[in-house]
Amino acid sequence: MFERSSKALAAHPITDGSKAAERVDRVATFLGCAFRPGPDFTSLLTFEEGAHSFAPDQLYNFKPETERLAIDGWSQGAVARIGKGRVAVFGEAAMFTAQELQNGQVKFGMNHPAGTQNARFLLNLVHWLVV
């Protein structure tokens, strides 16, 4: 969960929107990866202190000895203006979907209860990219 209140979700035209109804205060992500954005990028989704990336030998098979890497300050979503264009890079895709598995018992993305503002975030992102 990336929240504005903890500054894990950055204040930016994408998260602020063009009017109060478009403001985004939290974005839920589900898996994915972390990266260190280049100097021209603004991280919108920044991992907080204590965050770790895990590298299990088998998918979803986490053990006490599973390799992990501290990712404090790394990003899961960043944007930049490059030349006359705009670029958005995200290390997670489920946040931009509306998935249901096991006959609707497992929900991801915009269908997950924590993802109620993900659709607004995506719409704001697309608006920012096309300006």
Task: Enter the DSSP assignment of 9.
Answer: B
Tens of pLDDT, residues 7-56: 999 999 999 999 999 999 999 999 899 999 999 999 999 999 999 999 89
Range of the domain at 50: 2-130
pTM: 0.92
Tens of pLDDT, residues 59-83: 888 999 999 999 999 999 999 999 9
Tens of pLDDT, residues 84-129: 999 999 999 999 999 999 998 999 899 999 999 999 999 999 999 9
What is the identity of the amino acid at 103?
N
Contact indicator for 53, 118 with CB cutoff of 8 Å: no
- CB neighbours of 12 closer than 8 A, spacing ≥ 6? 42, 44, 79
Dihedral sign, Cα of residue 95, residue 9, residue 53, residue 62:
negative
Is 42 exposed, middle or buried (CB count within 10 Å of its CB: 0-12, 13-18, 19+)? middle
Total domains, the chain: 1
